[in-house]
Amino acid sequence: MNASPRLILASASPRRRELLAKLNVPFEVVVAEITEHEDPATDPRTMVAHNAALKANWVAARHLDAFVLGADTTVFIGDTVLNKPRDLAEARDMLRRLAGKTHQVFTGIALRRGQEGLRVDRGVTSQVTFRAFDEAVIDAYLLAANPLDKAGAYGIQEGGEMIVAGWEGSLTNIVGLPLEETKQILTQCGLLR
């Protein structure tokens, strides 16, 4: 009897782990030792696709028999990419910039399997509209959530009701892993039924 194929999540994100677990497919985590491309001048869709592929390729090269899922998410407003803030001051600036406006959240997904040269790449876009808010709301939000490990300095699932007025598209994309598209990919590859 053949063992089920392995699935590896190439991500350090606890949110991606929680989301992928909802699909009830066994997986392990191997964090890719790569430097993500975060040039703010790069088209955000290109950047997240590139970073997702970098993560998946790095892990797949070391685990040839496994299916490897990589993902990367960023926030984009106007013509500016908002990746993870370096510090609380930058997080405050990002939240000020997003207040009262609509922005896009882009996630790139890459699935690889080294032994057969499998390469699947997808991109997902959602829109988020923030409430208009002041410094007092920013202070309260920063006490309720850790902004430093999230693109755009916020997590919709963590105190989001304080700052988010609404969204369009995939909520799980905004959190960091679009489950609808991920489920489609894993089903096509025989990992889900």
Catalytic machinery residues: 72
Interatomic CA distance for residues 6 and 176, integer angstroms: 22
The helix (H) or strand (E) run that includes residue 4 is: none
Interatomic CA distance for residues 131 and 101, integer angstroms: 7
Assigned token pair, 190: 């025989």
- Answer whether 181's CB lies under 8 Å from 136's CB: no
The residue written with tokens 């994100």 in the block is 13
Interatomic CA distance for residues 10 and 8, integer angstroms: 6
Please count the other Cβ atoms lying within 10 Å of the Cβ belonging to residue 117. 8
Which runs of consecutive H residues, i.e. helices, occur in 40-133? 44-60, 88-98
Angle (CA) 49-16-92 rounded to 5° is 80
Assigned token pair, 84: 């993870």
Helix, strand, coil % over all residues of the chain, rounded to 5: 35, 25, 40
